A and B are shown apart, each in its own frame.
Chain A
Amino acid sequence: MQLDFKHKPSGHCENGVVSNLLGFYGIDISEAMVFGLGSGLFFAHMPFIKMHDMAVTSFRPLPGAIFSRVVSLLGIKMKRYKFRDKEKSMGALDRVLLSGTPVGMLVGVYNLPYFPKEYRFHFNAHNICVIGKEGDIYTVSDPVVVDKCTLTYEELKTVRFAKGTYTPNGRMYHITDISHKRDINYEIIRKSILLNCSRMTKIPIPMFGVNGIRFLARRMKRWEKSMGKKKAALNLAQVIRMNEEIGTGGAGFRFIYAAFLQEASILMNIPELRRFSEEMTEAGDMWRDFSYNAARMFKKRDGDTISYEILSEKLMMIADKEELIFKNLEKLMKNAG
């Protein structure tokens, strides 16, 4: 059984799954629009959550947040599941799938056979969509893969019950009802932008939003002293990987958000949003410059002047830039209400 599902690769796994899922129901909405409506741009540096014994740096809200937000804005009903029992989770998947419904799910990448070996860490917040089954082979639409791919029953079961930080526990979701669907309109986009502005500038805890970037910047300066050269560089490598990793990207997210602002500018008929899109592109370029310079730490030779102080300074500048963008964007959106 194969669903008539159009697979489009995307920059970020959750946006991609949502955009492809909605496309199945004839709702044509770009990845960038999904990301923007889901208020998906975020930053968090959380030393109290560890992955591979290192602080987690994240460039997006919790997995699933974008999907929930977009479907509720569009008046679409969905159902989510979480399981203890592995076999039950596979049975539930089969029942929904055989009823002709594509099923999105959270998986760990460590045991994903089509992932390059180098990418297989215990990262458990990857989204894929199951869109067919022949015998015990499932057809899968994974947004980071160019074409549709396949997983066996056992393989899928293993990745749905991956272990480590933030275990997926067989989490899956699907759309149940689109009869009350609303079209994307001015007000929906305006609210989503406002929510993203507030997430990036107003959370009163230092670990999130632009303050989170500053928090990381301040801690980074002390890394070499507090954990030694090797561990410090490893932590830096972790930040770059979270920043640039397929399907999770950080600099990439700035560019996706910029693409969203461009689309929004046309839909809302606010030409000024295009200028914000350009500003956001600049922020993305600054993140790329940060990654580029951070990578110099790994093969640092005598004479190379790169240091954690310089990298920290770069992060501070990114934080200032993004704070300014979001504060002005908030003003613009408030006045446009």
Chain B
Amino acid sequence: MKINEVPQDGNILEKSGEVRDVCYAVDENGEYKQVISVGWEPKNEAISYAWSLIEEECESIKKDVKAGNKSPLAYHIHRNVMTPEILASYTGFTKREIKRWCKPKHFFKLDSEKLGKIAHVLKMDIEQLVSVD
């Protein structure tokens, strides 16, 4: 890659803070130099694609929640790119408990202490945790 070929497609990095890509590219004499880049379109697309699938899945879980088949927790786990296993290790509950609470009939029996613990890890308050809107 030559220095003038270093991509500067700033869709994601440019708009947020100071995180950047440092690329190595050759100058006109063939010497390697560091060049700071704000991103590359194919990579931005890969990231957006992964997020679009997560959104899609979230919408479908939302429907299940509204139909009473899943609890809001199932939705929030997915929205935060988590799995019951990861949420379990962050909260200290067991994976089995988390999975059980993904069902509405168990979830809505939770006391505010347990809800608070989960909400804290997911960085939201309890009102947000018990709804999907």
Query: With contacts A9-B22, A146-B36 known, is A233 near B49, CB below 8 A?
Result: yes
Question: Contact mask B14-37 → A, CB, 8 Å, 1/0?
Answer: 011111111111100011101010
Q: Is A246 a contact of B19 with CB atoms below 8 Å?
A: yes
Q: Is B16 a contact of A117 with CB atoms below 8 Å?
A: yes
Question: Contact mask A40-84 → B, CB, 8 Å, 1/0?
Answer: 000000000000110000000000000000000000000000000
Point out the residues of chain B lying under 8 angstroms from A259, CB to CB: 24, 32
Query: With contacts A32-B24, A255-B24 known, is A291 near B50, CB below 8 A?
Result: no
**Interchain pairs with CB closer than 8 A, number:** 129
Q: Is A237 a contact of B50 with CB atoms below 8 Å?
A: yes
Q: Is B19 a contact of A298 with CB atoms below 8 Å?
A: no
Point out the residues of chain A lying under 8 angstroms from B19, CB to CB: 114-116, 119, 144-145, 246
Q: Is B86 a contact of A11 with CB atoms below 8 Å?
A: no
Point out the residues of chain A lying under 8 angstroms from B46, CB to CB: 236-238, 240-241, 244, 291, 294-295, 298
Point out the residues of chain A lying under 8 angstroms from B49, CB to CB: 233-234, 237, 298
Q: Is A262 a contact of B32 with CB atoms below 8 Å?
A: yes
With both chains docked as a complex, state the minimum distance between the C-beta of A168 and any C-beta of chain B, in angstroms.
12
Question: Contact mask A147-181 → B, CB, 8 Å, 1/0?
Answer: 10100000000000001100100000000000000
The secondary-structure label for the interface of chain B is mixed
Q: Does A284 contact B (CB under 8 A)?
A: yes
Q: How far is the CA of A241 from the CA of B39 in the complex (A)?
A: 12
Point out the residues of chain A lying under 8 angstroms from B83, CB to CB: 52-53
The residue from A118, A120, A163, A230 contacting B86, defined by CB atoms under 8 A apart: A163
Point out the residues of chain A lying under 8 angstroms from B47, CB to CB: 118-119, 237, 241
With both chains docked as a complex, state the minimum distance between the C-beta of B55 and any C-beta of chain A, in angstroms.
12
Q: Is B41 a contact of A295 with CB atoms below 8 Å?
A: yes
- The closest CB in chain B to the CB of A251 belongs to B1
Query: With contacts A10-B22, A163-B90, A238-B50 known, is A116 near B17, CB below 8 A?
Result: yes
- The closest CB in chain B to the CB of A246 belongs to B21
Point out the residues of chain A lying under 8 angstroms from B45, CB to CB: 295, 298-299
Point out the residues of chain A lying under 8 angstroms from B90, CB to CB: 163
The residue from B15, B17, B48, B81 contacting A122, defined by CB atoms under 8 A apart: B81
Q: Is B86 a contact of A122 with CB atoms below 8 Å?
A: yes
Point out the residues of chain A lying under 8 angstroms from B42, CB to CB: 240, 244, 291-292, 294-295
Measured as residues with beta carbon below 8 angstroms from the partner, the interface class of chain B is: 35 or more
With both chains docked as a complex, state the minimum distance between the C-beta of A283 and any C-beta of chain B, in angstroms.
11
- The closest CB in chain B to the CB of A241 belongs to B46
Question: How many residues on A have C-beta within 8 angstroms of the other chain's C-beta atoms?
Answer: 56
With both chains docked as a complex, state the minimum distance between the C-beta of B90 and any C-beta of chain A, in angstroms.
5
Residues of A209-260 contacting chain B, CB below 8 A = 230, 233-234, 236-238, 240-241, 244-246, 249, 252, 255-256, 258-259
Q: Does B67 contact A (CB under 8 A)?
A: no
Q: How far is the CA of A53 from the CA of B57 in the complex (A)?
A: 14
Q: Does A101 contact B (CB under 8 A)?
A: no
Q: Does B89 contact A (CB under 8 A)?
A: yes
Q: How far is the CA of A246 from the CA of B48 in the complex (A)?
A: 15
Q: Does A313 contact B (CB under 8 A)?
A: no
Q: Does A139 contact B (CB under 8 A)?
A: no
Q: Does A279 contact B (CB under 8 A)?
A: no
Q: How far is the CA of A213 from the CA of B130 in the complex (A)?
A: 45
Point out the residues of chain A lying under 8 angstroms from B53, CB to CB: 230, 234
- The closest CB in chain A to the CB of B25 belongs to A255
- Residues of B at under 8 Å CB distance from A? 1, 12-13, 15-26, 30-32, 34, 36, 40-43, 45-51, 53, 81-83, 86, 89-90
- Residues of A at under 8 Å CB distance from B? 9-11, 31-32, 52-53, 110, 114-122, 143-147, 149, 163-164, 167, 230, 233-234, 236-238, 240-241, 244-246, 249, 252, 255-256, 258-259, 262, 277-278, 281, 284-285, 288, 291-292, 294-295, 298-299
Q: A114-B18, A236-B46 are in contact. List 6 more A-B contacts (CB 8 A).
A: A32-B24, A122-B82, A145-B17, A163-B90, A262-B31, A262-B32
Can you give 7 A-B contacts (C-beta < 8 A)? A9-B36, A52-B81, A114-B18, A115-B17, A146-B36, A164-B86, A291-B42
